[in-house]
A and B are shown apart, each in its own frame.
Chain A
Amino acid sequence: MARRIGLVAYHVFKESVRDKVLYNLVLFALLMISASYLVGQLTAGQDIKIIKDLGLAASAVFGLFIAVFIGVGLVWKEVDRRSVYNVLVKPIGRHHFIVGKFIGLALTLLVNLAVMATAVYVVLAVMAWTDPTLVRTASVEAPVVDPNLLKAFLLIYVQLLVVTALALFFSTFSSPMLSAALSFGLYVVGHFNADLAHFDAVVKSKTAAALARALYYLLPNLALFDVKTAVVHGTAVPAGYVLLTSGYGLLYAAAVVGLAMLVFARRDFK
């Protein structure tokens, strides 16, 4: 079974490389290098903070676009081209197909994010090396080349897995345009999720409050994954928090992939 899933995943990864998805890394590198030069001209001694903010935010945004725009086409494209028939007549189950697609895109995102994290560290190290005064100023809150940034990168990755799972789920029954709209919609809603938990403070109806509470648990809580500001300011992000949040994200993504498998299993390709 693992081999079949691995085969699908490998082909998704290969296709994303062939589709020049990883070209975004060049754009990212250019953004980081030009920012490291320009920021010093634009701001008053906050170069390191801004480079960290920009590096983390750009990684999240680039990853989000890859997760959504590749994710929404994963299944739809195969169905539209009718290449899904060729795949499914082989000894590859529909569930293998979906899990393989998910893992393939997860692998693409992992490679992408790993390269971006490396680029951020390289830019920071070069800045610290070329201007040692930056180290003295920045190290008041957090070291320039701070290993804790990895916690933020890890949570960005898990968040992207949740978004990928959602995009894949929508891709099993909807067109790419609608799937992208729904995925982005859930991404935005996922950041306001906490409001739903306290909905009883603004409505009198107990039913509405209970419904909001249910939605709070049902919808992905993506705000939890944002530790970027804390990490940049050197505020402690406990390992327990990272583990629990990652666990939540992985289980949520697994549940959505499971739903995608169910929907795809019921689709009639005749």
Chain B
Amino acid sequence: MNSPAKTRIVGTSVPRKEGLDKLRGAARYIDDIQRDGMWHGATVRSTVPRALIRSIGFDPRIDWRDFIVVFAADIPGENRIQMIVADQPCLANGQVNHCDEAILLVAHPDKHKVREAVNAVHVEYEPLPPVFTIEESEKQQTIVWGADNCFKSFLLEKGDVDSAWTHAAHIVEGEYRTGAQEHLYIENNGVIAEFCENDGLTVWGSLQCPFYVHKSLLAVFNLPPEKVRVIQTETGGAFGGKEDYPSVIASHAALLAMKCGHPVKLIYDRIEDLAATTKRHPSRVRHRTALDASGKLLAMEIQIDTDGGAYSTLSSTVLSRATLHSPGPYVCPNVRVRSHTWATNTVPYGAFRGFGAPQTIFAIERHMDEIAAVLKLDPLELRRRNFIHQGETTATEQLMREPVILDKLLDRALAESDYHARRSRFAKENPVSTIKRGLGIAAFYHGSGFTGSGERNLNSLAGVDVTADGNVRVLVSSTEFGQGTNTVLAQVAAETLRLDYEDVVMAPPDTGIVPNSGPTVASRTAMVIGRLIERASMQLIETLRKEAGLPEDFSRGEFFAACDELRASTGEVVSLCRYDAPPRIYWDDQKYRGEAYPAYAWSVQVAQVAVDTITYSAEVEEFWSVQEAGRVIHPVLAAGQIEGGIAQGIGYALYEKVLLQNGRMANNQMTNYIMPTAEDVPPIHVFWEELPFQHGGFGAKGIGELPHDGPAPAILNAVKDATGVSFNTIPLLPEDLFAKLHASHPIEEPAIV
């Protein structure tokens, strides 16, 4: 087994690169930036879920000559924001398909006046019948998208599911549902756009993927690539919520800037951001599972349906990851997964940490506990009997070449949480207490990097250069939004180049400066881009040895002297590397078979939950998470990712409900969309098992999304353990607990003395 190589910087918790600026209040987020002569933009949005636009009226009490108004007809290129399919207009043209869809844009030098103007635009509609749920959409009685309301479907098949049922000792069925979830990054979406004939378009913004925005702007403005420049500003949280949406808001601000001839700032307030931007896809997952008498899986039939909202955006790729994570970390000879993502007349659902996996992992991990109950088997034992190991194959027939240590992760989680002793204690205490405590577990994997052939198609380019003033710069379009990109990539470069961490800086995240290292998504940065930076750094050393006489063993001074020499002869010191797929990676997009991901991160989590049978509240009291995600590059940042992901997962399970009324988010305020606060999060204990992955940066695999996958099933399994009642839908709110617990065990009101 690989053991971590000895390193000086990798594996240590150096201060984060941009940390000082953030702590001084000096970091410049988009709303902190002003441009000379800047105007302010705002968006007029639909108030109905689906309708033809009959007319647009402008209140005569406003002097519209002071404003710039942009309509769909002003778009110089294509009226499309295309992530995968070209179905979403940049501005509605004659028809709206969801509430809060952008219809037109206004700009004015005074940001207060521009708000007044939005309220003075009156749109008249001719309503069309809307569809709001997966059930309505799949019936296909009202068609709201394409020929059949279906954005995408997948079929994954292994073995022969149909003939497995007859010789099964047990067949267990279940249905599991998850709700929408809002990212609730604390910084709302925002951009500034500027246009001039000579330089073209420049957009600054809070975003994850500068080159996604760049590509969108090329299409909307019909400009050549060198006339569009996208610069990421300090970004106050993203979680996937700034993967696809910035293409929309950037296009809007740029249209206003082009028409008014001034820089335009377009910033959403919280109410607008919550109402109009993407959320996590709601889902319904059905399982039918065959097992033999010993509890070994014989066949799994899984049906996944997700709500994609009004336009396709990233729904097909979210569905793909949902599909590939749905069978869980188990071996099963016969698997069939059918999945569909459906159109509804709601704001399009989009990327969110986990990207489909939290939905289907909730289903399988809740379902495993239901199976265990039917088989009268310990849920831990049922999992152990079916865990996948090295040398076995997944549902896509991917051979697990690397070690898989689920048993070890489970053992460690049980030991660290003192699982058995706690359960015995609760078994004694629960019968005599109105507070019922329970423990629940979840075991799961998260595929690192893009799915299937995705990384090969991205063909990422990244590297390092050394400037004349002695700065070693990391050249990537991979962005920092709190997770630690800057720090981790600088560590990798400094380690490989045998320099100090302080010698390395990040080149500005500006499409005019850095190469396209792909989007900052899919838990790919430390593993895929980290490896590119490691390779580019090694390549630079080789070049310096060949071209500038750098000795085999070199000092910091010799390194920079060699750089000066190389610069004098060739004009620059730069080293770029392109993605090189690990060997034997094969993926069949048609059959959905092969190496679904280049690597997997694995985790076992334990939740301790207390259910109060008087108030019907469920509270997570303590949480343990053990994971194997390759080499840990930065222990403090890595633990921060796990803890933050778990807190978000606790919110997903117990607090965060997106309430839709007529297709519009009704609780679009922080007052009534409830996330866990400092008083709600339990102590979270994080433990690592490190198995370096040779194709990841210094052995890293992805960790960003992994921790969000497990809390919801672990928590609902703990609720079952505590109360004996199964809950299969999240979020699980006190009213849901009341409805089912009260029905099953009516509790007498305590006597008032």
Partners in one complex: no
- A residues bordering B, Cβ < 8 Å? none
- B residues bordering A, Cβ < 8 Å? none
